[in-house]
Amino acid sequence: MQFRIALEDPATPDVIALLEAGDAYGASLYPAESNHFLPLDALRGPNVCFVVARDRHGAALATGAIALAGDFAELKRMWVVPDARGKGISTAVLADLEARALDAGHSLLRLETGIDNHEALALYERKGFVRRGPFGCYREDPLSVFMEKHLGDVATAV
């Protein structure tokens, strides 16, 4: 499957539909207090890189974002439409976001996901993320899994 990944404004109708589908999936698995979605206005913030994967016809297939914090970037809003899963899109979106984190000077990527997001957990573990405790504003939650990945040294200009 051919697709392209680019920075986009998340406030377009087709992207909002993907975000809402991800929200609905999360709500079907966890209570509201265990869902930690960045809302649309935060996704448009200056510290967020939001990307969309689109097929060759322009249909939105996947979303992902990183929120740049003090000494790390946080992975947020990874979602792939069910019909496009298993085609390498989530791996490509993750790689794109990792590169953007490094370009922004962040060599540590962290995330929170749910214990029942088995496909996401498998992807993150395959891609080198390791489990850790809560970070930032998160608190212990038996329904959450916290992970991080060191992306390597940030290039420095000479």
C-alpha span between 146 and 114 (Å, rounded)? 9
What's the pLDDT tens digit per position in 86-135? 999 999 999 999 999 999 999 999 999 999 999 999 999 999 999 999 99
Pairing of strands 108-114, 73-80: parallel
For residue 6, what pLDDT band results from cuts at 50, 70 and 90? very high
Supply the pTM of this predicted model: 0.92
How many whole angstroms from its chain centre is CA 55? 19
